[in-house]
Amino acid sequence: MAVLPRRDFLALGAAATAAALLPGKAFAASPTGEKLHGLSAFGDLKYKPDFTHLDYVNVDAPQGGTFNFLPRTWGSNQTPLTFNTLNSFVPKGDSPQRMEMCFDSLMVRAFDEPDAVYGLIADGVTISDDRNGFTFSLRPQARFHDGTPLTAEDAAFTFKLLKDKGHPDYSLPLTHLDDAIAVDAHTVQLNFSGKQTSRTILNVVAFPILSKAFYTANPFDSSQMNPPLGSAAYKVGRWSAGAWIEYERVADYWGNDLPVNRGQNNFARIRVEFYQDRNASFEAFKKGEILYKEEAVSRIWATGYDFPAFIAGKVVKHEFPAETMPSMQATAVNQRREQFRDPRVRQAIGLCFDFEWTRRNFFYGSYERSQSCFEQSDFRAEGVPSPGELALLEPLRDQIPAEAFGEAVTQAVSNGSGRDRQLLGKAAKLLADAGWKRSGNFVVNDKGGRLSAEILVDDEVFEQVYSPWVENMKAVGIDASIRLVDAAQYQLRQNLFDYDLISVAARFPATPTRDDLETFFHSRTATLSGTRNLPGTSSPAIDALVDAAGAAEDRESLTIAMRALDRVLRARRDWIPSWFLANHRSAYWDMFGFPERKPDFDFPVEALWWVDKGKAAKIGKA
């Protein structure tokens, strides 16, 4: 699978539905000229300036122990399969998951609010009268791990560096940053051009602050395997390239007692394992070499938990509710390749995927069919367009599919046979209408060239899941196949858009900015390596809807724009929605404590859980 979303100081870190929103004024109405302890897009801040801790933590959690786990999310150039660099902030290379734990940011998100950020390195921010300038006062006690002060020079250097040379996850939101100025040692000012959206700052304040001294002495590229100098609760400890990495808690971490940190970062050591084979990772879990994992394979979740440690009660299976966030799991059809530019071809390919058969035979009935690019959220389009949606869609009528003006496009429901003749017949007709004529076992164009479609995967599990899809494509004349490649090649080919079909799982913020949406859907990212615009979507109409969502200044306007965007994306069939899971299928050795209340907008077990010594002793893990 491809990249899952960013968390903490990355913009895809938290999300919400409209029902979960707080009442209040738009971000654009936030006061200027006075120091603010936090920012929020559409609602009043939950936590007042004198708050002592976040509500979803256990401030009395004991500290210590090792948390050895398989992370469920990653972003930028990170991969869960291998790593060959320790720089997570550049376009190239494969870096390890959770490098972000080593770097503090100006502000940090609260996981029980849809879009609120509160001061971390910065104890406050002042907005200029024209709302294009943001002045941050930095805490004088902020330190890097070598004891040197973290200053405004480091912050200004960071934003300029990330804009110029950073991964698109960082550089895109900084497009309209005019300057980053160190006013004095503890004051940094970010000035934007005015072309940014009002919510861009919510992304930018959560970016890592890097050491100017370190990246002056060391190149800012993917060649680096020496640990970069950080400032957060963890630093890089031991590692074995491509196999595992350990993050060690910093004993004298400068921000340990800040309200946004209390009750978090409880493990003395966090170890991340890398496996290119899911069976191998499950065997390691059964032996207790891995202590926590989220089960991605339905067959294993349904039938694999019969090993001795589970039977003895040492291992627990538990389903935690998923976050209230818009998510997308889908297959991109690469329109950079001529054979996929006709939407009828993309629709035909989608009709060949029999979800009902796949759900019964591979998923043990555990997944639901995804229909939307913003599944599990109020941003999902339903029924016919509302008057507000029509107001956005009508000016674009000659640029978007007519289907966008009717019932929201949904994926066809098969008879569950695995070879639904009616749907395959419809797929064959669509191909014929698009100019592909049958010649023997395949369809060909007017030059005699076959319609080929290769699905790129990085795990044998997907070879199994997608094989029936391939067979159905072959049945309608598509020269279909699956290409299994190793982790490094998969990441490289994804970054270079070198594939026919590729799948992704992602989630979006509670309050998406234009920057968040651009990386998936905007024309400017269709040729920008490392972005998530995997289908190569390049449409002025989509760009206009992305801009409308980015410019929305209240929740209602945002929801309308997002639904209109979803409606058009589904009608274009740039993505073939696949499936989603309503819960986290968590399995762990029964040696941990965790807060009774799970926050609504993220699930960072490595930050919120702790070792329960009594439980650990009971199962022989003390």
215-242, pLDDT tens digit by residue?
A: 999 999 998 899 999 999 999 999 999 9
Instruction: Give the whole-angstrom CA distance, residue 396 versus residue 404.
Output: 10
Residue 85 and residue 188 in one domain: yes
Residue 331 and residue 243 in one domain: no
Q: Is residue 273 part of a domain?
A: no
Q: Is residue 256 part of a domain?
A: no
Q: What per-residue confidence (pLDDT) applies to 28?
A: 56
Query: What single-letter DSSP state applies at residue 181?
Result: E
Q: Which pair of structure tokens corresponds to residue 328? A: 């997308």
Residue 348 and residue 216 in one domain: no
Q: What per-residue confidence (pLDDT) applies to 188?
A: 98
Pick the closest to residue 167 from 387, 356, 10, 337 (CA basis).
Answer: 10
Residue 218 and residue 366 in one domain: no
User: Please, is 338 exposed, middle or buried when counting C-beta atoms within 10 Å of its C-beta (0-12, 13-18, 19+)?
Assistant: exposed
pLDDT category, 27, cuts 50, 70, 90?
low
pLDDT category, 20, cuts 50, 70, 90?
very low
Q: What percent of the chain has pLDDT over 90?
A: 83
Sign, CA torsion 23/29/35/38: positive
The answer to whether 500 touches 482, Cβ cutoff 8 Å, is: no
Residue 204 and residue 342 in one domain: no
User: For the domain that residue 557 is a member of, what is the CATH number?
Assistant: 3.10.105.10
Q: Is residue 587 part of a domain?
A: no
Q: What per-residue confidence (pLDDT) applies to 480?
A: 98
Residue 428 and residue 521 in one domain: yes
User: For the domain that residue 217 is a member of, what is the CATH number?
Assistant: 3.40.190.10
The answer to whether 121 touches 142, Cβ cutoff 8 Å, is: yes
Q: What per-residue confidence (pLDDT) applies to 29?
A: 55
Query: What single-letter DSSP state applies at residue 165?
Result: H
Q: What per-residue confidence (pLDDT) applies to 4?
A: 41
Q: Which pair of structure tokens corresponds to residue 431? A: 């191909």
Sign, CA torsion 218/227/162/528: positive
The answer to whether 539 touches 519, Cβ cutoff 8 Å, is: no
Q: What per-residue confidence (pLDDT) applies to 475?
A: 98
124-180, pLDDT tens digit by residue?
A: 999 999 999 999 999 999 999 999 999 999 999 999 999 999 999 999 999 999 999
Q: Is residue 414 part of a domain?
A: yes
Q: Which pair of structure tokens corresponds to residue 402? A: 């007519």
Give the gyration radius of the chain's Cα atoms: 24
Q: Is residue 23 part of a domain?
A: no
User: How many C-beta neighbours within 10 Å does residue 309 have?
Assistant: 17
341-353, pLDDT tens digit by residue?
A: 999 999 999 999 9
Residue 233 and residue 331 in one domain: no
Q: How many Cα atoms are found within 13 Å in the side-chain-facing hemisphere of 506?
A: 28
**Across 506-510, average pLDDT:** 87
Q: Examine the fold and report which residue of 205, 226, 249 is the final residue of a domain before the chain moves on.
A: 249
Instruction: Give the whole-angstrom CA distance, residue 369 versus residue 376.
Output: 11
Instruction: Give the whole-angstrom CA distance, residue 96 versus residue 88.
Output: 7
Number of domains in the chain: 2
Q: What per-residue confidence (pLDDT) applies to 307?
A: 97
Q: Lowest mean pLDDT: which of 24-38, 297-311, 433-447, 583-597?
A: 24-38
**Across 327-340, average pLDDT:** 96
Q: Compute the C-alpha angle 8/12/14, nearest 5°.
A: 65
Predicted TM-score (pTM) of this structure: 0.87
Q: Examine the fold and report which residue of 205, 233, 249 is the final residue of a domain before the chain moves on.
A: 249
Q: Which domain holds residue 158?
A: 34-249
| Cα-to-chain-centroid distance, residue 531 | 12
Q: Is residue 565 part of a domain?
A: yes
Residue 339 and residue 194 in one domain: no
Q: Which pair of structure tokens corresponds to residue 146? A: 């070598």
CB contact set of 129 (below 8 Å; sequence gap of 6+): 32, 33
Q: Is residue 318 part of a domain?
A: no
Residue 418 and residue 528 in one domain: yes
Q: Is residue 139 part of a domain?
A: yes
Q: Examine the fold and report which residue of 193, 224, 249 is the final residue of a domain before the chain moves on.
A: 249
DSSP-derived secondary structure for 18-47: GGGPPP---GGGSPSSSEESEE-SSS--SS
Cα torsion through 308, 274, 235, 287, rounded to 10: 10
Where is pLDDT greater, at 73 or 339? Answer: 339
Q: Is the pLDDT of residue 41 over 90?
A: no
Residue 347 and residue 457 in one domain: yes
